[in-house]
Amino acid sequence: MIDSDALIHEFLSLVTTLRTEQGLTHEQLSDLAQIHRTTVGLLQREERSPTLQIANQIANALGYTLSELILRAESNAQQKNTIREPSSTVYNRPNKRKIKRANVRNEEALLKLTGLDSAALVEAIDSCYHTLDIIDEQLASRNSPVVADLVELANLSSMVGNLLSAGIAEASNGLYKRNRPHAYPDLLPIKKPAVELELKMALETNRPKGHLPKPGVYITFRYVLGNADGTYSRGKTNRGKTVWIWEAKIGKLSASDFSLSNTEGDSGKTAVIKTDAFNSMPLVYYDQIFSPYPQRKNRQHYPGYN
């Protein structure tokens, strides 16, 4: 296991390297990341450890996702033999999560609309799980709450979406690359048959939403919060602290497939995929163990689930 201090050291060293390569000063990086300049200086001198939020802001300012920098920092730490005994409390992570290829459905639709195969989808979900587990493990080793306890659900959804997007790009065999942060679409085509691909996330039975009703090809993921041992019970009061993807869909949507509404807790209007449009999107991944729907309701409203 990689010691948390070693991982932080490699992360901050990587930030320094990328900042220098991009010709950015401390002041310019702090402005891009919207972090006080004194804080950036303390971090670069390793006189302070970054919080999860600050690390994410710095990664985005440099044009990367937090997961990408963490994985690179982890690789650097391993290459430098900085593996040590963990300090204090260790996150009780189970053995590597096993994703069943049988959970993939309608691979023909996935290939036709995106050029991606089932292996890429499975690998992206696997990569997402792996990174989340690493982050939780390092947080717990410092006696800190895990990610699900540190961030609001909206921010957690955004983080999971970024991880999946990065995973798809990495597993696409050169078809896709990630767009810059907060830009549409999330994934840009590099070569045919890739297309502009937007990714949307939703928790449990919620329908995915965005800020504007933009037409295009969408891949949507829905997740639940279960337990680290792979058990899950439906209901808000039974939520755990571990992210589990239970569904992915793919489809080409028009602006009319969205409905605008004011949702409590959101800033301004949100564009929610309409029920009929969402239900008609081909299901390309389904893990029945983590479905938040009772089985009878699955059969009634989603006959393709089985």
pLDDT by residue (tens digit) across 224-253? 999 988 999 999 999 999 999 999 999 999
Please say if the pLDDT value at position 16 is more than 80. yes
Q: What letter represents residue 262's amino acid? A: N
**CATH 3.40.600.10 domain locations along the chain:** 101-301
Per DSSP bridges, beta strands 216-226 and 197-203 are: parallel
Range in 78-92, 121-135, 248-262, 287-301 the model is least confident about: 78-92
Please say if the pLDDT value at position 86 is more than 70. no
Mean pLDDT value across residues 170-181? 91
Alpha helix (H) ranges present in 115-238?
Answer: 118-141, 147-150, 153-171
Residue 161's nearest CA partner among 151, 175, 173 is: 151
For residues 83 and 305, give the distance between their C-alpha atoms in angstroms, rounded to a whole number. 44
Q: How many CB atoms lie within 10 A of CB 276?
A: 8
- CATH class (in words) of the domain with range 101-301: alpha beta
Tell me: domain 4-79, CATH 1.10.760.10, correct? Answer: no
Q: What count of Cα atoms within 13 Å lies in the side-chain half-sphere of residue 182?
A: 5
Q: How far, in Å, are 111, 161, 247 from residue 194 at the CA level?
A: 9, 19, 22
Q: What is the pLDDT of residues 40-83, one digit of tens each?
A: 888 888 878 888 889 889 998 998 888 888 888 887 877 765 43
Mean pLDDT value across residues 15-29? 86
Model confidence at 277, in pLDDT bands (50, 70, 90)? very high
**CATH 1.10.260.40 domain locations along the chain:** 4-79
Q: Which pTM was predicted?
A: 0.72
Model confidence at 302, in pLDDT bands (50, 70, 90)? very low
